[in-house]
Each structure stands twice: as structure tokens, then as C-alpha cells.
Amino acid sequence: MKLTRRKLIVGGVLGGGALLVGWWFAKDRDRLGDRTVFKARMGEVALNGWVKVGRDGSITVAAPRAEMGQGIHSALAALVAEEMDAKWSDVRVEDAADLNVYRNVEILIDGLPFSPEETGRMIDVAKWAGSRVSGLLGVVATGGSTSVRDAWEPMRLAGASARDLLLRAAAAKAGVDRKTLTVVESEVRDAAGKKIATYGELAATLGALQPLRDVPVKKAGEFRLIGKPLPRIDVPAKVMGTAGYGTDVRLPDMLYAAIANCPTFGGKTKGFSLPSAGLPKGIVKVIELPTAIAVVADSWWRANKFLTGGDLRLNWDAGPNAGLDSRAIAADYAGLLKDGKPKLTRSRGADTPPADAKFLPATYTAPYLAHATMEPMNCTSLLDRGALTIWMPNQSSSLMRYVGAKEAGLDQDKVTVHTTYLGGGFGRRAEVDLVRQAVALAKALPGKPIQVLWSREEDIQHDFYRPMATARFVADIPADPKALPGWTVRLVGQSASSQFPGRVLGIGETGDPDGNSVENPPYAFARYRLDAIVPQGPVPVGFWRSVGHSHTAFFDECFLDEVAIAMGRDPLELRRALLKDKPRHLAVLDAVAKASGWGTPLPAATGRGIALRASFGSIVAQVAEVAVEGRTIRVRKVFCAIGCGIVVNPAIVRAQMESGIVYGLSAALHGRITIKGGAVEQANFPDYDAVRMADMPAVETILVESKDAPLGGVGEPGTPPIAPAVGNAIFAATGKRLRNLPFELK
């Protein structure tokens, strides 16, 4: 793709939403970096900004994207290793610093809150960004399923450039022409196939050689590692229990902080009273922050016991939202469905339905959801002699550094962020609340490393939630059953993209919907109109795996089933008719239909449902097989087809499909956050449960590879289709159409 060579960047984005932070030209070769960028340790030499070679033969790749389970460290390292012709077992990764060459360019483009064709608004956005924010150009960030798409050109170039540099050193050493040399498994060989030196042996001989920026990369047919299920770099440590997460950071004389956040949204602290007996053993200090009270101790358990045990009295000012209730918000949204003013309208096709059309209306809802990463929220920080160091499982070291510096009153060059393994991210760890809290405590106790760790209850009750949302559809059903239906939808929900820049940068909401909640569907409806109403409110909303698609796919794909049934057409067949000019979508749809045996008989009280969603550059279609026993919904089997262009690691793509399905299924069967009295009612896994082993469907994934299609993401696209596939299967099994999540049979 030509565009990947030179991109005009406008704005910045995390997790599919918008953080608009500036603009500049970025060329892939400008991101190579020289030999000083990637800091070499004893026995290592850097070849460019992305690769180091050790005398022991190790090849270390800079990994500026957070490893939160999606296998990104291994996928990125494979891009470099491929071009170097490196031996895979020699390859390791290292957390990369927050530097320009590592910034995620793709995330800026991909998640902008409008469709790319809307050039007028891009100009507005650039103006907005330019006026509001200067000096912060782009971000090192992981989200929006962008990492491989972003790295595809620069990291392959880094590998090719590293190989070229090593070959030039080898040619000088052997006194031969560089063009005659080949590399097999990190070993440089001459024209006769005889070994000249290994990469490790060449490390000491590089002298002042500099990396070239115009080195060709391999063509698709030449790949040796890309496309193979290479073993993941992070797996052995994760199996042996030695992988270091944020909660595992241990520093000399480290203190631990347990946190009680003000229970109500928008509330504040109003002091605390210590027990008359004084502070218990091990408790160092109780610190009042604007919206939280922290107990700092020599043990987190001691801190949390004192904080929650009842001896320490916490006082809160519940603030302006003490009466907030999610049922009342839902009622407001129902009103907005009728008469709310749209922030965005999109339409195409005829303005009015045919005179003989019948109308089919339906209203759908989806609740707020928490992320519930397995590793509870945490951040470790040390403010010492004017320098701030942060150790944190996070999705954007740039943002953590920016906010950490601001909170500490330091220049950004005095702040270092170390990104640990993330025990899950799902969008939650793009948020800056933990770093703000940790640095505030570090300021109160300078010179002491402090690890802030939230309990699970704090995590569930103080998240940035997937927005509650509702949609009202009206389809026009043509009298001619072979004609295509028309489609109108009014959508109401808060926007993470609108809130996020505000809480990071301290500015107001933009008011724009999440870009991917208003993406135009691929279907050739006879007419199409979308009105998106974006209410603002005190409930903090954030990027939840697949963001807008997580609920709009449920709305759209279940309603499309209703339309098919109203037209007397098969749900697969109607989708095929609506996609007849979209060969990539059709290929994915047909692949899943074939694998699932669509149309073949099933036992009684069992049904199949199909759904398709294109998101984050990939197309995913799923068929769920559901058995209903009384009120119990059992998802027995899920067939999943994905078209994501070139597959870098098929094992990782399959794992991400299973992962996305389970994440979406947990939400569809269990997930619901409700608010009463201004506070979240759920607190821990017993009331915010997840799919477990016994409920796990068998998942079969089909990779529909197309070498000439643009690369798509894989971290999020598996999630959107599962809820509608299950909803449609429940209808097929029972004749009951469930239009509200989570699914409940009454």
C-alpha cells in the first residue's frame, strides 16, 4: 500500500478512540533510528533503533507495544527476525523507551472518530489538536488492534537494515563482495555456502558502520517465519511463574498502598479519622487525595486490612451524582431515542422507502461493562532527587510519562516508564488514573518506592466502563422478497473517545461518538440512515475490547436476522445478497457457513446463529451453536472465520479469536454493571462473573488468508460477532428474540 510509505498524521488515538495530540509527517524509514537509539548493554551492539546483537548470538528486538496476552512481542520480533534470517530461538525482546521512532502511527489514523472520507472534519480536528495541544507529538501506545499494522513496514525494514549492516561487516572481514553472501539461521555464508561468521561473532566487528535506510524487504513468497506458528517468546516464563507483572515489581524498601476511591462518581474525600489506638503495626501513613484515601504500609495486606477493616473512618462528600441510577439513565436514553439531537448522521441510498414497504421496528440495549483484567490495577513509582521512575503494566508509556511528569511537576525528560507484562489490558490500561494516584503518593513520600494496588472491588467499581447503549431500528421490508431492505437506526450511548482526551489532558469532552460505533456497515441496503446521539454524563466510559463494535455489532447483526426472518429469507442467504459486491466479506461468510454445516439439521431445542462484523481492518464471521435447557443457555460450539490479510502467526491469530470470543461471551451471558446511589452495585467476580471452563464452547477457527488484502488487526475483531451469533442461535432454538444484554430467558 502506497499510503503506508508516507502518511499525513492528524491526531492520536487509543483503543480505537481519539486522543488528538498533533500532526506530522511520518515515513517508515524515518522510524529506523540510528545506532544510539536502542541502548546496548555489555556485550551487545545496536544495529539500528530496533535491533541489538550480542556476542553470545542473542538478537534483541525493541518491543514498544505492551504484551497483554495478544502475543505482540512475538509477532513484532518475528517481523525483524524474518528479514534478518535470524534463528528464532536466538531472538528475545526488550521493553522500548518512549521515543519518537517507537510511536504508534497506525493508532492515530485508524481510530479517528470519523470516517476517512470526511476530509472537512479532519481539518477541524487538526485545528483543534493544534490549538489545544502542542509539544506532545504522537504516542507509544498499544490498542485499536493496530500494533502489527503499524510495525509491518518499519520493523521489517529494521530487520532488513540490520541484516545488511551485518553482511557489510562480514564482507569486510572475509574480503568478499557483500552481494555474494547469504544468511541461514543467523549464520553468514559465502557464495560456496561456507560459514564466514555468525551474527554473534560479527557483533564485535561492526566498527563505525551505519545502518542504511533504503534496504529492500522480502516479498510475500519469500517468507520463512511469517505465516508459521512460531513459539511465543513469553510462554516459558509465564508457565514457570517467573514472568514479571506490575504487581511483581519489588524494589528495596518498597512501600505498598491500598486505595479506597470515593464510592460515588464525581465525589470527593472529606477527611478520615484514625483510631484512638493510633496506627497499627506496619502502617506508615494515611494520605488523603482529592478523590481517594490511601493507606501506605510495609505490606499491602496490612494496608488493605487497615483501610477496609473499620478502624479507619473514611469520610466522603458524595458530590453531585449521589442520586445517579443506571435505570434512570436507561429511561433518559429511551427518551433520546425518540427525540435526541444527533451529533452525527450518515445516510446513503433513497431518502424514502418504497410505497409498498412494510416497517419492522425493534429496540435493543446493552449495559455498562467493566474490563476486569485478571491483574488488578497497579502502578509502582519512585520520586527521588528530581527524577520520577514508573513501573507499570500500561498500554501507553507516552501517556503515563506525560501525566506522571505533569503530576510530579517535572519535565518529561526526568521521567522514565518501565512497562511490565500486563495481566490483561482490554483498553483499561490505556487510562491514566493509576499513574496519577501513584505519583501523588510518591510526592508525599519522596525517596520511597511505592506500589499502589487496587483490590478487585476497587477495580470493578472504579473502571472506565463500556458505555451503556441503546438502538432503535426501523427496517423497511419490500413487498418483493427478492428486493433488498432499507435500514434506519438511531443509536444512543456515551463516547469513550469524547471523554478520554478530557481526562488525560484536562480539557472538555469533544462530544463525538466513538468512531467505530458509527462505521458504515458493509451491507448494500436499499437505503441506510444512522443517527448517533451522544449524551454526556458523569459515568466514566472507556475503551473496552472492540469499543463501539462490542455493542453495535450485537444490535445490527441481531436486527438483520429479524429482517431476514420478516422477509422469509435465510439469515445467511440475505447476508450473502447484501454482500454480493464485497468478495472478501463473502469469502469469510462462506467459510464459516461451510465449516458450521449451515442448514444441516440440529437436535431439538438447539439452534445456529450467524453474525459478521468487519472491524479494525479485519472481517470476522461466526456461527454459534446453542442448546437451551429451560432457562439455561449453553453455547456448545463456535465456528469463527477471519480474514485479516497476511497472517503473521496463525497460532496467535487462532488464540486471539478464541480470546475475543470468550471475552464477548462472558459479557453476553454474565456482564452487567449497574449504578445506584451514584455508585456501582457490583464488586467482585461473584457478581460480575465470567465464562469458565465448564461453559467454554468448542471453538473452531478458519483463517481466510488473502496475500493482497491490507493487514488487519486480530486483538479485538473476534469479540463483536459472538453476542449476535449467540442471540440469533437462541432465537433459532426457541423462537425467542432477546434484544437486551446480557441474555436472559424468562
Partner 1 sequence: MVALTINGERRDVDAEPDKPLLWVLRENLGLVGTKFGCGVAACGACTVHVDGVATRSCSVPLDQVAGKSVTTIEGLGGDRIHAAQLAWIELQVPQCGYCQPGFIMAAAALLAEKPKPTDADIDSALTNICRCGTYQSIRKAVHRAAEMAGARR
**Using CB under 8 A as the criterion, which residues of the chain lie in contact with partner 1 when the complex forms?**
67-71, 229, 231-232, 234-243, 245, 247-248, 250, 299-302, 372-376, 421-426, 453, 455-456, 651, 655, 658-663, 666, 684-686, 690-694, 696, 698-699
Tell me the closest approach of the beta carbon of residue 71 to partner 1, in angstroms: 7
Edge-to-edge order in the sheet of strand 182-184: 182-184, 187-189, 195-198
Give whichever of 421 and 543 is closer to partner 1, judged by the CB atom.
421
Give whichever of 256 and 487 is closer to partner 1, judged by the CB atom.
256
Q: How far apart are CA 141 and CA 12, in angstroms?
A: 10
Q: Which residues are CB-neighbours of 124 under 8 A, at least 6 positions away?
A: none
Specify the 3-state DSSP secondary structure of 10: strand
Q: How far apart are CA 513 and CA 496, in angstroms?
A: 8
Give whichever of 41 and 692 is closer to partner 1, judged by the CB atom.
692
Tell me the closest approach of the beta carbon of residue 86 to partner 1, in angstroms: 20
Tell me the closest approach of the beta carbon of residue 425 to partner 1, in angstroms: 8
Q: How far apart are CA 491 and CA 562, in angstroms?
A: 18
**Cell numbers of 654, please?**
487462532
How many other C-beta atoms can be found within 10 angstroms of the C-beta atom of residue 583? Answer: 10
- Shortest CA distance to 161 belongs to which of 276, 61, 285? 61
Buried b (16+ CB within 10 A) or exposed e, 461-487: bbbbbbbbbbbbbbbbbbeeeebbbbb
* Number of helical H runs and strand E runs in the chain: 17, 29
Tell me the closest approach of the beta carbon of residue 595 to partner 1, in angstroms: 16
Q: State how beta strands 255-261 and 450-453 pair.
A: parallel
Tell me the closest approach of the beta carbon of residue 152 to partner 1, in angstroms: 22
Contact of 95 with 418, CB cutoff 8 Å: yes
Give whichever of 298 and 705 is closer to partner 1, judged by the CB atom.
298
Give whichever of 231 and 446 is closer to partner 1, judged by the CB atom.
231
**Cell numbers of 700, please?**
473452531
- Shortest CA distance to 356 belongs to which of 526, 598, 164? 526
DSSP letter for each residue of 570-596 = -HHHHHHHHTTT-HHHHHHHHHHHHHH
Q: Is 44 left (phi over 0), alpha (psi -120 to 50) or beta?
A: beta
Give whichever of 232 and 436 is closer to partner 1, judged by the CB atom.
232
Tell me the closest approach of the beta carbon of residue 4 to partner 1, in angstroms: 28
Give whichever of 138 and 423 is closer to partner 1, judged by the CB atom.
423
Give whichever of 376 and 617 is closer to partner 1, judged by the CB atom.
376
Tell me the closest approach of the beta carbon of residue 231 to partner 1, in angstroms: 6
Tell me the closest approach of the beta carbon of residue 367 to partner 1, in angstroms: 18
Torsion of CA 162, 165, 169, 170, to 10 degrees: 60
- Shortest CA distance to 440 belongs to which of 682, 635, 259? 259
Q: How far apart are CA 127 and CA 137, in angstroms?
A: 14
Tell me the closest approach of the beta carbon of residue 174 to partner 1, in angstroms: 39
Give whichever of 69 and 340 is closer to partner 1, judged by the CB atom.
69
Give whichever of 606 and 666 is closer to partner 1, judged by the CB atom.
666
Tell me the closest approach of the beta carbon of residue 302 to partner 1, in angstroms: 8
